[in-house]
Amino acid sequence: MEEMLKYLGIKSVDELFEDLPPEIKTDGLNLHEPKEEMEVEMEIKKILSKNKSFFDMPFFLPVIKPHYIPPAVDEIVSRQEFYTSYTPYQAEASQGILQAMFEYQSIIAELTGMDAANVSMYDSATALGEAALMAYRIKKKRKILIPRNIFWHKKKVLENYAKGAGLQIIEVDYGEDGRMKLNHEEKDVAAIYIENPNFFGIIDDRYKEIAEMRERLDALLIAGIDPLSLAIYNPPSCYNADIVIGEGYFGNPLNFGGPLLGIFACKKEYIRQMPGKIVGATVDKEDKRAFCMTLQTREQHIRRGKATSNICSNQALCCIAFLAYVALLGRNGLRRVAKKNMDNAKYMANKLQKIGFSLPFHKKFFNEFVVIGNINGKELNSRLSNKGVYGGLPIDEYVENGILFGVTEMHSREIINFAVEKIKEAMEEKL
């Protein structure tokens, strides 16, 4: 350091801060003394030990759920070349991650039946917000139809994204079967958002009717999907979706709700209205295949206030994890896991029915489902609190005493049997 100071002809680094007016200077930071690595690691472990994980207390919460992550995924995303690098603006030094991103886009396109995908939004909620804004840009209309049964966090985020452009969010009711009513009439609709499976876990196969509603209202169709269900169910291209969003949890841990990965895909005709980073294939000077970020004139660093979105940093590494997961499982593995999710959910639902719960919606579900019991979900969960298991999400806003359960390949028969036994015990408890 001495040498560098000497080179600059100054005595101390303080001289480098002389542009700071004296009135604003602070006298250092009122923080702790620096700590050793070991100390920090042990302290953090101690704090986190206060959490209860799925392995301490199995839970059946929906929206995002615990899934098994193959060890090879960790190995891949732990490569420093991937996780320490920046957005690949310098294509020649970033061919590896660019090709991976291109493969991610290809996989998302395969799963969703769309033509193109970007390299992530922050999560499915912000992806929905961006999709609504994109539909507004394309259709120049201001209403966004959403199902009344939607996870409330997602709706809250959408409202914030809609505010600036003055979009109007309109909730469409669901019928007795728990599915969105498709006969809704409305003028000035930019987009219809439909979830499949929906918030109640129900698989929607009314392809013709959904596509027909899109035509009738002259709106874009935004489909909210679960990527795993698409391994065994038809993609949203079957009902003419224009934009597809979803939570890309493949290979990414729950991590207390973040980072997540917002999937965002669309038809080719709309790619120039897409938000976010996109990678394209091209060639180098010697005509060798190469990859680079493309269609950048949509983006904030070029278009500033006129960009399609303000997004810069995204969830790129989560895309690599997603891709690695799909590559490792392949088409066979994805189908196997998807089927296991569905089977386990069915098994759990049957078990719950045997102890007195009923299923209000008589429709096919994937790995989430709603039950009604003679006990309120909140009360049930509080009674379960000392029994080593936690239930689903109470959804009294929609269904009185309704509980939304989420089940995956990680909920073994043993875990489900144990949980159902404890739920039975809890229900029999006297207040």
Sequence-distant (6+) residues with CB within 8 A of 216 are none
Which of 333, 356, 372, 424 is in the footprint of another protein by CB under 8 A?
333
Contact 318, 123 (CB under 8 A): no
Q: Which stretch binds another protein (CB under 8 A): 137-145, 194-202, 324-332, 367-375?
A: 324-332
Nearest to 374 by CA among 414, 422, 324, 423: 423
Number of residues that make up the chain: 431
Q: Which helix (H) or strand (E) is 197 found in, with range?
A: none
78 makes contact with another protein (CB under 8 A): yes
Q: Which stretch binds another protein (CB under 8 A): 138-146, 318-326, 353-361, 366-374?
A: 318-326
Nearest to 199 by CA among 161, 153, 156: 153
Q: Which of residues 194-253 bind another protein (CB under 8 A)?
A: 230-235, 247, 253
In angstroms, the CA 79 to CA 13 distance is: 36
Report, in Å, the least distance between residue 104 CB and another protein: 10
In angstroms, the CA 17 to CA 336 distance is: 61
Indicate the SS3 state at residue 166.
coil
339 makes contact with another protein (CB under 8 A): yes
Q: Which stretch binds another protein (CB under 8 A): 38-46, 134-142, 187-195, 395-403?
A: 38-46
Which of 11, 34, 140, 176 is in the footprint of another protein by CB under 8 A?
34
Nearer to another protein, 289 or 354 (CB): 289
Q: Which of residues 160-179 bind another protein (CB under 8 A)?
A: 160-161, 163-166
Q: Which stretch binds another protein (CB under 8 A): 25-33, 175-183, 352-360, 418-426?
A: 25-33
Nearer to another protein, 31 or 185 (CB): 31
Nearer to another protein, 312 or 396 (CB): 312
Tokens read off for 18: 């002389």
List the Cα angle 136/101/408 in 5-degree steps. Answer: 80
Tokens read off for 178: 């728990």
Report, in Å, the least distance between residue 99 CB and another protein: 6
Contact 178, 370 (CB under 8 A): yes
Report, in Å, the least distance between residue 216 CB and another protein: 26
- Give start and end residues of each alpha helix (H) in 151-264: 152-163, 207-216
Q: Which of residues 244-303 bind another protein (CB under 8 A)?
A: 247, 253-260, 268, 271, 277-286, 288, 290-292, 294-297, 299-303
Q: Distance of CA 403 to CAs 175, 178, 299, Å?
A: 18, 14, 42
In angstroms, the CA 384 to CA 421 distance is: 11
Tokens read off for 256: 């207390």
Q: Which of residues 97-156 bind another protein (CB under 8 A)?
A: 97, 99-103, 105-107, 109-111, 115-117, 119-120, 122-126, 133, 153-154, 156
By rule CB under 8 A, what string of x and - marks binding of each residue 367-396 to another protein? --------------xx--x----x--x---
24 makes contact with another protein (CB under 8 A): yes
Nearer to another protein, 65 or 363 (CB): 65
Nearest to 155 by CA among 129, 186, 137: 129
341 makes contact with another protein (CB under 8 A): no
Q: Which helix (H) or strand (E) is 5 found in, with range?
A: helix 2-8
CA 49 to the chain's CA centroid: 26
Nearer to another protein, 217 or 334 (CB): 334
